Amino acid sequence: MSNIQTANQLHRMGITVWVFITPILPGITDVDLMINAIDQDIPVFLDKVRLKRNTRPALKLERFIDNHYPHLAKTYKDIIYNNTDVYYEDIKEKWGKTERVKFVFESSN
């Protein structure tokens, strides 16, 4: 059973649940698919990749992207080294009017 199915089942049983989709990996995480699969009255919190340049996690992610998603390498370099938020701005544009969707990344930089 997937985490989404479990959250939906618990919710239907009357247990309060909420969903965090984090980190959103541009070009990899299908945010639309995930949000649409979650029961409509379950709150959803979205957060972005948070990595500091030249740290071990950032370098590991870069290597992973280079090896498995080379077509996304520039996107991830922009996120890590230039703090580019274009992908997240697109998500905010699409889901920002949905009351149940909250954006963790709005309050930080």
Nearest to 38 by CA among 103, 109, 98: 98
pLDDT in tens, 36-80: 999 999 999 999 888 888 899 999 999 999 999 999 999 999 988
Q: What is the mean pLDDT of residues 79-90?
A: 84
Through-space distance between the first and last CA atoms of the chain, rounded to whole angstroms: 35
pLDDT at 108 over 60: no
Per-residue pLDDT, 10:
96
- C-alpha 106/C-alpha 109 separation (Å) is 8
Per-residue pLDDT, 59:
94
Go through 14-49 and write b for each residue having 16 or more CB atoms within 10 A of its CB, e for each that does not. eeebebebebbbbeebebeebbeebeeebebebbbb
Per-residue pLDDT, 84:
80
pLDDT at 109 over 50: no
What are the CA-CA distances from residue 33 to residues 4, 30, 107 (Å)? Answer: 11, 5, 25
Q: Band of the pLDDT at 106, cuts 50, 70, 90?
A: low
List of E strands, the chain: 19-24, 44-48, 101-103
